[in-house]
Structure 1
Amino acid sequence: MPAPTPLGRATGSVLRLVKEESYYHKELAHQETRISKLQEEIASGKPDLDSNAPYMLKQEQTALEETKAVFGPLRDKIAEAVQNLEEQIAITESDGVEGKEEELKTAREAVESGRKIAEQQE
């Protein structure tokens, strides 16, 4: 198996970061669900609720805030990786695309998905 090209590495980097961002969104939704459930249990005075429930709620809320804080720097990394990938696409095109059409197509798709995420504001 040949070593990955600079274009392949740059594409992989963008795709990995996009996947990572998706993972954090799933984690955020999961944390919000746990917090909502815990808040409801505390509000209803559930008899079998642990006496640590308020502390656990605070810990969950802290974890939620930490997860939210990841998005800004991650989007910056994605924007940087997209810029690098665009440079690699330009270099590859200037060298000739003979036999690299599929790799370029994948790279362009990665640029598009990376741009969408990098431009999001939350």
Structure 2
Amino acid sequence: MAPPTGLNIKTSSVIRLVKEEKSYHNELVLQTSLLTRLESGEEIEGYDIKQQKTVVEQTKEVIPQVRQKLKVAVEQLEYAIDAAPESESAESIEKAKSAVAEGKQVLKTAL
């Protein structure tokens, strides 16, 4: 099996970052929901609510960092597509273009 090319590595990176950003958004929804339930409960201690608020805030802080990494990875992948040698398979180039499109779509969504 041939080693992965630079294009394949950059494509995998973009795909991973797209999944990571989606995962953090899902986590934020889940943690915010849990915080709301904790705040509405009567028998919960203030410490538990404070800890959950910290979790929510930390999750919110990570999303812009992942978004910036995704932006850089998409730009690098676009450059790699343009600079890809003719020996690069059409399948790899199509997969890279698809990853760029998906990455740009995620970047367009509002935080």
TM-score of the aligned structures, taking structure 1 as reference length: 0.84
State the partner residue of 2:12: 12
Larger Rg: 1
Root-mean-square deviation (Å) = 1.4
Deviation track 1:15-58 (CA, whole Å, cap 9, x = no partner) reads 0111111111111111011111111113xxxxxx35xx211101
Contact 1:85 1:111 in 2 (8 A): yes
**1:54 is the counterpart of 2:46:** yes
State the partner residue of 1:21: 21
State the partner residue of 1:65: 57
Give the CA deviation at 1:6. 0.5
State the partner residue of 1:111: 100
The percentage of counterpart residues that share the same residue type is 35
State the partner residue of 1:41: 41
- C-alpha separation between the residues in 1 aligned to 2:64 and 2:24? 12
TM-score of the aligned structures, taking structure 2 as reference length: 0.91
Name structure 2 gaps, 5 residues minimum.
Answer: none
Name structure 1 gaps, 5 residues minimum.
Answer: 43-48
Of 74, 77, 81, the residue aligned with 2:69 is 77
Give the CA deviation at 1:118. 2.5
Residue 63 of structure 2 aligns with an amino acid whose one-letter code is: F
Residue 69 of structure 1 aligns with an amino acid whose one-letter code is: E
